[in-house]
Amino acid sequence: MISEVVNSIKLIDTHEHLEPEPDRLSRPQDPMFLFLAHYLTTDFFSSGMTPEEFMVLRDLKKPWEERWPIFERYWDYAKTTGYGLAIRLAIRDLYGISDITRDTYPKLVESMNNKATKGFYRWVLEKANIGKVVLDHGDNTGNSLPKFDRDLFTGVIRFEGIVFISNWGDLMNASRRLKVPIHHLSDLENAFRRYIREVLPNFIGVKTSFPAYMQSLKFEYVTPNEAEYALKAIIEGKEGFRRYTPSSSEVKPLQDYLFRVMLDELEALGKPLQVHTGIQETAPTYDEPPNNALTNANPTQLINLFKEYQNVKFILFHASYPYYHEAGVLAKQWPNVYLDLCWMHEINPRAYVDILSEWLELVPNNKIMAFGGDYAFIEGTYGASVIAKRAINEVVEEKINKGHWDKEDADKVIKRILRENAERVFKLT
């Protein structure tokens, strides 16, 4: 059966935000606190939860009985979404709880506390049959994940704090990170190139999310003089010649230039770039609308970079949803464009099935990576893996039943999209 093949594959999980196990185990195993740390919160807010109610739910000083009426109301609305499904599958398989109700809540807490011992992460990953996890911990210091079991975890690094300098404070932070004073573009560029060469060998690639969330994925070509002028605007803004923070249009040439510096070094070192495209996770906890227009995260805006950096592997994250048609065509046209369905399985499980099915008939199957939970807590990772495996089974069986594939085709594709493609792109073997 196809499901047996799917379940037998030791998965490569291409994207997670998990905290170190000791940090997770050191805090109360409170479902309302933990499960509202990522994604489920969005559905609670979009269904009507107020910031004040959210603060009550996350207040560990309040007994769970006092917080329960709020949780119960919004959980009933959100439990039927993909985010809710991932949680329900996880607590069922990991803790033996079929649903979160007033009656089962104390049992869930008890079970979570019983499992919260050293080796917890390994136990969950083995249960999910995940062999390696790629972690994204943002703009870290260049240390290579010191608190994680390196048999199970590896990581990517971000350089966004250096690339996306927009004001004097950002420039000072970049200067401290690079350990050089910055007065001219040459100071910044030379130090940045040296820093990338120093720290990037500790990581399997680079991730960027900032443009998709804060501005646009479009990076224009700029000259060194244009970048120097933008840097000068930032410096003069601090020194009082202008007495204002430069506008986004004034600083964008510097960011565009530094992004290409980063790509130069990725190309030289043979490292891939993971790019957030499509849907953005909103920040409703601050009672604000999303930070950026969805259209700014359309992957077609990256075409000029695909052309300029044909030896850099660009990995389009999150299926570029809802721009998955465009993403698929880009991967079909460009040898250096790859597709990653991370997070998509819990964003919309039905869409995940449809997208994977479409891509497997549009794009060579060595260019698709099918799983990455994208969670801050490992229960979400587990639940997402179950959703993904179910979907892959459905898609592959459909291809066989329609006579498009035979069993040998199916076995090869399953192995590639769940493990071998990621191994090759990230050079994990």
Q: Across the 429 residues of the chain, what is the mean pLDDT of every consecutive 10-residue run?
A: 95 96 95 92 92 93 97 97 98 97 98 97 98 88 75 95 94 95 98 96 94 93 97 80 73 98 98 97 59 90 98 98 98 98 98 98 98 97 98 98 96 98 96
pTM: 0.95
> How many separate domains does the chain show?
2
Assigned token pair, 12: 């490569």
Tell me what pLDDT residue 57 has: 95
> Which domain range does residue 85 map to?
30-115
Tell me: cis bond preceding 299? Omega within 30 of 0 counts. Answer: no
Alpha helices in 298-348 (DSSP H): 303-308, 324-333, 344-347
Asked if 208 contacts 305 with a C-beta cutoff of 8 angstroms, the reply is no
d(CA 319, CA 306): 17
Residues whose CB is less than 8 angstroms from the CB of residue 295 and which lie 6 or more positions away in sequence, other chains included: none
SS3 43: helix
H/E element, 316:
strand 314-316
Q: Which of 63, 96, 115 is the last residue of a domain?
A: 115
Asked if 200 contacts 269 with a C-beta cutoff of 8 angstroms, the reply is yes
Residues 404 and 283 grouped into a single domain:
yes
Task: Tell me, yes or no, whether 281 lies in a domain.
Answer: yes
Task: Tell me, yes or no, whether 308 lies in a domain.
Answer: yes
Task: Tell me, yes or no, whether 299 lies in a domain.
Answer: yes
d(CA 106, CA 115): 14
Residues 186 and 104 grouped into a single domain:
no
